[in-house]
């Protein structure tokens, strides 16, 4: 499938703006596993010297434990950027999710997440939610999953800055819905497309949309190259923050 890889590389090399912000991580959904423990570690970055010294780093740690119908997943991510001696990117996200298989095609899930984001001026975003995941299509090379549930979100902006909304606090009740498409056209290539739709229950026009497209190319049994294109749109943002964010990610992933 060289055409698929080439197309995705061109897409990921298109110019992008600041790093987007994953709002509700759903790690390894749709991937069957035997009972036991799984671990995946991924990282990437860039370093530039000369006229504009520039350093960025991103790391992810994913842990998953399964016992019969019970699945516990923990996912943590950190991003750091420094240019001309000053930090310009500082973000941490931690996510914990519990899933219970009610039937072959129905899964109940509950989760919590904490985020701190310098770019978005977020002192903290804390959310918790619960819902159901539906296995819509399960074929040898194609899988489709959908999820629907409720999410409670608390946001607090940073203080000490000259903005009219500094220190603002928001408590939002949101609908949490998503679709995940897994496609494995040919070993060692796998593609995943995830779409999130999160409107406020009391104000549907206050919504968050996220598209995450990932191409994974495995070149050793436990080692792969992951290329991702992420597009995030928020109808409400803090002052000075644009509603549309895009990100390209290039990471090496190691799994156990």
pLDDT in tens, 35-91: 888 888 888 877 777 666 778 888 888 888 999 999 999 989 888 888 777 777 788
Q: How confident is the model at residue 31 (pLDDT cuts 50, 70, 90)?
A: low
Please state the CATH superfamily assignment of the domain spanning residues 2-27+38-255 in this structure: monomeric porin ompg (2.40.160.40)
Report CA 102 to chain centroid distance, whole Å: 25
pLDDT for position 1: 55
Confidence bin at 33 (pLDDT 50/70/90): low
The pLDDT score that the predictor gives to residue 26 is: 45
| 11 against 212, higher pLDDT | 212
pLDDT of residue 32: 57
Predicted pLDDT at 96: 93
Query: Tokens 């959908």 identify what position?
Result: 146
What is the per-residue DSSP string for the chain? -HHHHHHHHHHHTS---SPP--SS--TTTT----SEEEEEEEEEEEEE-SSS-EEEEEEEEEEEEEETTEEEEEEEEEEEEEETTEEEEEEEEEEEEEEEEEETTEEEEEEEEEEEETTTTEEEEEEEEEEEEEEEEE-SSEEEEEEEEEEEEEEEE--SSS-TTTT-EEEEEEEEEEEEEEEEEETTEEEEEEEEEEEBSS-TTSEEEEEEEEEEEEEETTEEEEEEEEEEEESS--TT--SEEEEEEEEEEEE-
Any idea where the domains of the chain sit in the sequence? 2-27+38-255
* pLDDT value at 163 more than 70: yes
Per-residue model confidence as pLDDT tens digits over 207-246: 999 999 988 888 887 888 888 888 999 999 999 889 998 8
> Model confidence at 251, in pLDDT bands (50, 70, 90)?
confident
pLDDT value at position 227? 87
User: Model confidence at 28, in pLDDT bands (50, 70, 90)?
Assistant: very low
Across the range 90-110, mean pLDDT stands at 92
Q: Rounded to whole angstroms, how far apart are CA atoms 147 and 121?
A: 29
Report the pLDDT value the prediction gives residue 50, as an integer from 0 to 100: 66
- How much is the pLDDT for 226? 86
> Given this model, what pLDDT does residue 102 score?
96
199-204, Cβ contacts within 8 angstroms, sequence gap of 24 or more: 199/174, 199/175, 200/172, 200/173, 200/174, 200/175, 201/150, 201/173, 201/174, 201/175, 202/173
What is the pLDDT averaged over residues 128-146? 92
């Amino acid at each position: 499938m060289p055409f698929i890889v080439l197309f995705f590389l061109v897409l990921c090399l298109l110019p992008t703006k600041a790093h987007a912000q994953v709002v509700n991580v759903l790690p390894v959904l749709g991937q069957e596993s035997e009972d036991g423990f799984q671990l995946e570690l991924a990282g990437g970055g860039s370093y530039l010297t000369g006229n504009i010294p520039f350093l960025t780093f991103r790391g992810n740690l994913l842990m998953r434990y399964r016992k019969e119908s019970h699945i516990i997943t923990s996912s943590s991510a950190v991003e750091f950027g420094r240019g001309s001696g000053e930090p310009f990117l500082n973000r941490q996200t931690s996510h914990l999710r519990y899933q219970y298989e009610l039937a072959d095609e129905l899964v109940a899930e509950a989760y919590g997440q904490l985020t701190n984001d310098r770019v978005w001026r977020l002192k903290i975003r804390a959310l918790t939610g619960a819902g159901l995941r539906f296995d819509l299509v399960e074929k040898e090379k194609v899988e489709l999953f959908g999820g629907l549930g409720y999410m409670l979100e608390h946001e607090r902006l940073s203080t000490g800055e000259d903005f009219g909304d500094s220190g603002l606090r928001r408590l939002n009740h949101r609908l949490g819905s998503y679709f995940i498409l897994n496609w494995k056209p040919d070993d060692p290539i796998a593609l995943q497309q995830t779409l999130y739709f999160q409107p406020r229950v009391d104000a549907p026009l206050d919504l968050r949309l996220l598209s995450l497209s990932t191409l994974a190319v495995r070149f050793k049994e436990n080692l792969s190259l992951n290329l991702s294109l992420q597009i995030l749109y928020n109808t409400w943002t803090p002052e000075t923050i644009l509603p549309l964010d895009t990100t390209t990610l290039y990471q090496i992933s190691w799994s156990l």
